[in-house]
């Protein structure tokens, strides 16, 4: 496995060379590599778990919070799920070579727009060792070489998982440099990777605002930011309150340390007296800290002493923890204004029985994913039928939302003639 025993430039150059071979490989070979990867994960589970235990121990000693430790943790169930995701990716149609459109010019030229790989994709990520496999599998399926740069928190886990991926690639005759890992070089290594213009085609960071800011300072390679998720659930005046209570609870509590969990609850004033007392109680019993406006506090009843007054910072914060900001609003328009002001553009939800309200919300909200009567927790490439995801883009170019195999491609025009020249 390529590591920083080589320079970052050398690793990227080898990946570039490997990408040329991978771009022309048939789907059967790529799928064989993915099956080899999934099988090796299951066969080497003990080795992976041992490495992850070392990372978990070091993380606890370093004071990583509960959300980060949850992201870092691997167990037998999670490893089997990762292996199944690899197989799900293998089962997807091969995007490479797909003809997006075709037409004939008046002079007889036949024009086709054909999907092709990007080339070399670098993924920079924090304490999520599953990303090592998910991203390797997605890149292989889409015909891209990948350069992985994990964080020190997952050093041992990433090393074993990248070895699994590299061995699988090599076992079917593909260049080992189709999957490379760089690790341990700190901020200078990140700069080296982010400035490989002409060698690396795209960088996708998966991490917090600090990682995003660090890349924005130095990157000369195009970047798609799999950015923060300051997600909202708005409960409309017409909402079914039983559905609303379940959706709010799920969006916040089911897995609070991920980017598609809800961070703010907005409730229409007409629904608030019935919804908030029971919902606030359920959330507090689940250990959620509530940061509320004055109108919510007035409806909190015997919980009033256990809630915290929200300030302006709370509305714009991605907590990634059992913390929820809560506000009462007077109208759908006020909810839309609040969401568009504070949202990171990730995932937003409305709970309503009004078709008109649902349509206004979905049309007006500027986010990658907008839900009607469902939890924000569904924003995930695996759930969306993509097998897995490299991340969720909150940008608008060139992809938005979950990044799967199709999103890891571009296209080229192929023009076939019979001797035509331009006059």
- Is the predicted pLDDT of residue 373 greater than 90, yes or no? yes
- Is the predicted pLDDT of residue 227 greater than 70, yes or no? no
Using DSSP's 3-state secondary structure scheme, residue 245 falls into helix
* Average pLDDT for 312-318: 96
Cβ of 412: how many Cβ atoms within 10 Å? Answer: 9
- Crossing angle for the helix pair 130-141 and 76-90, to the nearest 10 degrees: 10
Lowest mean pLDDT among 86-90, 225-229, 375-379: 225-229
* Average pLDDT for 296-312: 95
pLDDT in tens, 348-365: 999 999 999 999 999 999
- Is the predicted pLDDT of residue 226 greater than 90, yes or no? no
- The structure tokens 């070399």 sit at 120
DSSP for residue 127: S
- The structure tokens 């009567």 sit at 373
Local confidence band at 210 (pLDDT 50, 70, 90 cut-offs): confident
Provide the edge-to-edge strand list for the sheet that holds 179-182. 179-182, 145-149, 120-125, 202-206
* Average pLDDT for 61-65: 92
Pairing of strands 392-393, 409-416: unpaired
Q: How far apart are CA 375 and CA 356, in angstroms?
A: 20
Rg for the chain, CA atoms, rounded: 24
- List, as one string, the DSSP characters of 201-216: -EEEEES-HHHHHHHH
Q: How far apart are CA 47 and CA 364, in angstroms?
A: 49
pLDDT of res. 185: 60
pLDDT of res. 398: 87
* Average pLDDT for 209-214: 84
pLDDT in tens, 7-53: 999 999 999 999 999 999 999 999 999 999 999 999 999 999 999 99
Residue 388 contacts by C-beta under 8 Å, 6 or more apart in sequence?
A: 85, 86, 88, 89, 134, 137, 138, 381, 382, 404
pLDDT in tens, 162-188: 999 999 999 999 999 999 999 766 788
pLDDT in tens, 125-159: 988 899 999 999 999 999 999 999 998 999 999 99
Per-chain mean pLDDT for the chain: 94
Residue 97 contacts by C-beta under 8 Å, 6 or more apart in sequence?
A: 114, 115, 116
pLDDT of res. 367: 96
- List, as one string, the DSSP characters of 84-108: HHHHHHHTSPP-TT-EEEEEE-TTS
pLDDT of res. 4: 45
How far from chain centre, in Å, is Cα 156?
22
Q: Which sign does the torsion angle of CA 387, 388, 393, 394 carry?
A: positive
Q: For residue 181, give the H/E element and its range.
A: strand 179-182
Enter the pTM of the model: 0.89
Q: For residue 415, give the H/E element and its range.
A: strand 409-416
Rounded (10°) CA dihedral 199, 203, 209, 213:
20
Using DSSP's 3-state secondary structure scheme, residue 369 falls into strand
pLDDT of res. 241: 98
- The structure tokens 């506090």 sit at 297
In percent, the amount of the chain with pLDDT more than 90 equals 87
Pinpoint the alpha helices (H) of 126-154.
130-141
Q: Which of 364, 331, 369 is nearest to 348 (CA)?
A: 369
pLDDT of res. 287: 97
DSSP for residue 197: B
Q: Residue 26: exposed, middle, or buried by beta-carbon count in 10 A (0-12, 13-18, 19+)?
A: exposed
Q: Maximum Cα–Cα distance for the chain, whole Å?
A: 84
* Average pLDDT for 359-377: 98
pLDDT of res. 358: 98
What domains are there in the chain, each with its CATH number?
A: 8-226+390-416 (3.40.605.10), 231-378 (3.40.309.10)
- Is the predicted pLDDT of residue 1 greater than 80, yes or no? no
pLDDT in tens, 335-349: 999 999 999 999 999
CB 349 within 8 A of CB 372: yes
Q: How far apart are CA 268 and CA 6, in angstroms?
A: 58
pLDDT of res. 5: 62
CA-angle at 374, arms to 368 and 379, nearest 5°: 35
pLDDT of res. 66: 84
């Amino acid at each position: 496995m390529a590591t920083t025993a080589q320079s970052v430039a050398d690793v990227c150059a080898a990946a570039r060379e490997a990408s040329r071979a991978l771009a022309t490989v048939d789907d059967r070979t790529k799928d064989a590599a993915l099956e080899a990867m999934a099988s090796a994960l299951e066969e080497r589970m003990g080795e992976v778990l041992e490495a992850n235990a070392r990372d978990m121990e070091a993380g606890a000693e370093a004071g990583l919070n509960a959300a980060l430790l949850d992201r870092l943790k691997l167990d037998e169930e999670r490893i089997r799920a990762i292996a199944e995701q690899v197989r799900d990716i293998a089962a997807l149609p091969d995007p490479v070579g797909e003809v997006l459109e075709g037409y004939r010019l008046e002079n007889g030229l036949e024009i086709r727009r054909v999907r092709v790989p990007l080339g070399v994709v670098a993924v920079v990520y924090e304490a999520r060792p599953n990303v090592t496999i998910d991203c390797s599998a997605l890149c292989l399926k889409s015909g891209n070489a990948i350069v992985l740069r994990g964080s020190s928190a997952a050093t041992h886990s990433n090393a074993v998982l990248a070895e699994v991926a590299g061995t699988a690639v090599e076992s079917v005759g593909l260049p080992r440099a189709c999957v490379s890992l760089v690790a341990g070089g700190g901020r200078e290594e990140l700069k080296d990777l982010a400035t490989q213009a002409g060698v690396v085609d795209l960088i996708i960071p998966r991490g917090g605002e600090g990682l995003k800011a660090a890349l924005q300072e130095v990157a000369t390679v195009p970047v798609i930011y799999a950015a923060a998720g300051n997600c909202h659930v708005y409960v409309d005046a017409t909402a079914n309150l039983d559905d609303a209570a379940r959706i709010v609870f799920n969006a916040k509590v089911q897995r609070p340390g991920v980017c598609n969990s809800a961070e703010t609850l907005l409730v229409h004033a007409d629904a608030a007296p019935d919804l908030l007392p029971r919902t606030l109680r359920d959330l507090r019993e689940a250990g959620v800290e509530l940061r509320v406006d004055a109108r919510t506090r007035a409806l909190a009843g015997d919980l009033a002493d256990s809630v915290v007054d929200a300030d302006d910072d709370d509305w714009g914060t991605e907590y990634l923890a059992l913390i929820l900001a809560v506000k009462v609003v007077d109208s759908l328009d006020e909810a839309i204004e609040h969401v568009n002001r504070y949202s990171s553009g990730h995932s937003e939800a409305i709970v309503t029985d009004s078709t008109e309200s649902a349509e206004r919300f979905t049309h007006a909200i500027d986010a990658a994913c907008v839900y009607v009567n469902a939890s924000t927790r569904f924003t995930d490439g695996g759930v969306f039928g993509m097998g897995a995801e490299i991340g969720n883009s909150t940008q608008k170019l060139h992809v938005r939302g979950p990044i799967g195999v199709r999103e890891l491609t571009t296209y080229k025009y192929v023009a076939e003639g019979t001797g035509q020249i331009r006059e």
